[in-house]
């Protein structure tokens, strides 16, 4: 069996790493062809992941990135289609909710190649998010929907997607958290030299709804400025560019660093006191490492974390950020509650394929 896997953004590299490892370990009759669209084209956002996660270099690198959603998706479809005509795979395997995900699913479906979607069924119910459009369309194209939780399965059921094509496999990001926890390393960055365990907060900001809205971005930074703790902010290139163009400066308690590799990010997540983020993946990773999370969005697709009290949603309000910080500092994350499986999701993905 031949599987073409399409990745393009850093969370997808992490997910692909654990599934690729499972394919190699449990199946000798599967050949995987890895395609990197280039959606994340900065070396710190992409290349370093292949080195750290021990992922084989992609068989194909499309070098597509930096354009609008429409430009990127269209160019990806064109090039992926050409590859599929040559490779003739049995499955197209896609992850998550990026433009690369949708492009892979569309190209394959039009060539009648079945699509398997890892992380199917997630919904924020905010159609203004490009990611929401990508995940909904991909789910309705997929022939195998590999969902991380029962809630995700219920979302699909409400849209009429039921039956044996829907498999609750757990979350491959939990597999990754367990596997890479012992391999994590402290970032060798001077501005972090005096920080100790649990005496800093970790923040990431990258979604367009925050970076492209000066009022929201300013509100978030005002909220960070009011926190009685150092805040480590690995700065996404999109956020840096928007801040420069808007003339927004960083609060004194915020320590800005360049994007870090996955193993360094794991260390920061595991050793911080609390996480503030607009990233879906970082919300889960905070939980996997036993850290409370404040979500800098108006909704989340990871509703289970809100329901169990490990995560709270504050939007971009400075007051809400301050109030949530005080409240979440006392939050105890229970290791006995795990809505995303047992850490064997990659094996179940392999079995389903």
Q: Hey, what domains does the chain have and what are their CATH numbers?
A: 2-168 (3.40.50.2000), 185-328 (3.40.50.2000)
Interatomic CA distance for residues 312 and 326, integer angstroms:
12
Residue 213 has pLDDT above 70, yes or no: yes
Residues belonging to the active site? 206
pLDDT at 48: 65
pLDDT at 9: 86
- Under a CB-based contact definition with an 8 Å cutoff, are residues 3 and 328 in contact? no
pLDDT digits (tens, 9 = 90+) for 113-127: 999 999 999 999 999
pLDDT digits (tens, 9 = 90+) for 248-277: 889 999 999 998 888 999 999 999 999 999
The helix/strand count (H/E) of the chain reads as: 15, 13
| Mean pLDDT along residues 152-170 | 97
Give the range among 26-30, 99-103, 254-258 with minimum mean pLDDT: 26-30
Residue 21 has pLDDT above 80, yes or no: yes
| Mean pLDDT along residues 208-237 | 93
pLDDT at 49: 65
Interatomic CA distance for residues 300 and 151, integer angstroms:
13
Q: Over pLDDT 70: what percentage of the chain?
A: 97
| Mean pLDDT along residues 305-323 | 96
Pairing of strands 60-61, 91-95: unpaired
Mean pLDDT value across the chain:
92
Say what the pTM is.
0.90
- Under a CB-based contact definition with an 8 Å cutoff, are residues 19 and 7 in contact? no
Residue found by looking up tokens 């992490």 in the block: 14
Compute the Cα dihedral for 270, 131, 208, 15 and give only its sign.
positive
Pairing of strands 166-168, 144-147: parallel
């Amino acid at each position: 069996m031949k599987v073409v896997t399409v990745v393009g953004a850093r969370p997808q590299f992490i997910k692909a790493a654990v599934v690729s490892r499972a394919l190699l370990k449990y199946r000798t009759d599967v050949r995987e062809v890895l395609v990197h669209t280039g959606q994340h084209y900065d070396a710190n956002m992409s290349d370093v992941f292949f080195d750290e996660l021990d992922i084989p270099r992609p068989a194909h690198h499309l070098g597509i990135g930096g354009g609008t959603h429409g430009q990127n998706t269209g160019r990806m479809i064109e090039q992926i289609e050409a590859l599929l005509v040559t490779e003739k795979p049995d499955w197209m395997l896609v992850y998550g909710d990026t433009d690369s995900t949708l492009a892979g699913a569309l190209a394959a479906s039009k060539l009648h190649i079945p699509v398997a979607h890892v992380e199917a069924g997630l919904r924020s119910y905010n159609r203004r998010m490009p990611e929401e459009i990508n995940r909904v369309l991909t789910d309705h194209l997929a022939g195998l929907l590999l969902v991380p939780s029962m809630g995700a399965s219920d979302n699909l059921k409400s849209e009429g997607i039921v039956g044996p094509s829907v498999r609750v496999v757990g979350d491959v990001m939990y597999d990754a958290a367990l596997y890479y926890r012992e391999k994590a390393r402290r970032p060798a960055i001077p501005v972090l030299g005096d920080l100790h365990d649990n005496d800093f907060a970790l923040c990431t900001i990258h979604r367009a709804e925050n970076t492209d809205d000066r009022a929201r971005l300013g509100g978030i930074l005002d909220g960070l400025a009011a926190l009685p703790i150092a805040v480590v902010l690995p700065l996404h290139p999109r956020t840096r560019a928007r801040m420069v163009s808007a003339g927004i400066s960083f609060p004194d308690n915020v320590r800005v660093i360049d994007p870090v590799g996955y193993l360094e990010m794991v260390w920061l997540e595991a050793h911080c006191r609390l996480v503030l983020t607009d990233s879906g993946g970082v919300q889960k990773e905070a939980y996997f490492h036993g850290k409370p999370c404040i979500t800098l969005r108006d909704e989340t697709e990871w509703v289970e974390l809100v329901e169990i009290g490990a995560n709270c949603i504050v939007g971009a309000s400075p007051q809400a950020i301050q109030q949530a910080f005080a409240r979440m500092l006392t939050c105890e994350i229970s290791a006995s509650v795990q809505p995303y499986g047992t850490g064997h999701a990659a094996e179940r993905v392999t079995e389903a394929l």
